[in-house]
């Protein structure tokens, strides 16, 4: 990447970055990449003209030069990424936005990143483990909980009874033997 690809050569990454998408493989030969959004709608990423790309705490700020919806995802051209080789280097990088730029979550809405790491407990007070990640099933989101075994718990109102953000805890109607 040349120096024009960054918004500011000396930009220091905010400490509150929220991953929203992942860069996939190159698309074509002119620096475009596939992007897989972890958002309700992929095009919500287009609300931001500047994003942070990185992994393992190493981040660089980039401007989105152009973007298009493509199938169930999108393809993006970052400023300064002008060929397939440069695009290939971006593969598997996370795309993040500073938390203060994100809209407030509505009532009973949560950013997935805020749920990851929370303790999951059932109504009997038994620990089921910790939220490792989330995934979509088409019908609803699913908590992937890791404890003595992995559990896939539907993130629906009848099962997820309470999310206690301040206590980093989720209360579910889910048995140990499920």
- Per residue in 81-102, pLDDT tens? 999 999 999 999 999 999 999 8
* Model confidence at 10: pLDDT above 70: no
SS3 34: strand
The helix, strand and coil proportions of the chain, stated in percent and rounded to the nearest 5, come to 15, 45, 40
Which CATH number is associated with domain 112-172?
2.30.30.240
Q: Are the beta carbons of 94 and 22 closer than 8 angstroms?
A: yes
**Which residues neighbour 46 within 8 Å (Cβ) at sequence distance 6 or greater?**
64, 67, 74
Task: Pinpoint the residues of the chain covered by CATH 2.30.30.240.
Answer: 112-172
How much is the pTM?
0.75
Of 142, 95, 134, give the one whose Cα is nearest residue 114. Answer: 134
| Class of the CATH-defined domain 3-101 | mainly beta
- Per residue in 102-139, pLDDT tens? 888 888 889 888 999 999 999 999 999 999 999 988 88
Residue 17 Cα distances to 47, 60, 99, 124, angstroms: 16, 12, 6, 36
Task: Pinpoint the residues of the chain covered by CATH 2.40.30.60.
Answer: 3-101
Banded pLDDT at 42 (limits 50, 70, 90): confident
Mean pLDDT of the chain: 90
Q: Are the beta carbons of 146 and 154 closer than 8 angstroms?
A: no
Strands 50-55 and 94-98: antiparallel
Q: HSE-up of 50 (CA within 13 Å, CB side)? A: 14
Q: Are the beta carbons of 17 and 97 closer than 8 angstroms?
A: yes
């Amino acid at each position: 990447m040349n120096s024009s690809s960054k918004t500011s050569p000396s930009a220091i990454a905010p400490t509150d970055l929220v991953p929203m998408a992942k860069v996939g493989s190159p698309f074509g030969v002119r620096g475009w990449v596939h992007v897989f959004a972890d958002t309700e709608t992929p095009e919500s990423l287009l609300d931001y003209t500047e994003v942070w790309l990185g992994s393992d705490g190493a981040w660089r700020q980039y401007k989105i030069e152009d973007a298009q919806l493509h199938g169930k995802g999108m393809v993006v051209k970052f400023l300064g990424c002008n060929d397939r080789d440069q695009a290939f280097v971006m593969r598997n990088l996370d795309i993040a936005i500073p938390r203060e730029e994100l809209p407030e979550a509505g009532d009973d809405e949560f950013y997935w990143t805020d749920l990851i790491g929370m303790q999951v407990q059932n109504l009997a007070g038994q620990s089921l483990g910790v939220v490792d990640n989330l995934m979509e099933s088409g019908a609803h989101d699913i908590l992937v909980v890791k404890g003595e075994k992995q559990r896939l718990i539907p993130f629906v109102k009848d099962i997820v009874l309470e999310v206690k953000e301040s206590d980093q805890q989720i209360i579910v109607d889910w048995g140990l033997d499920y």
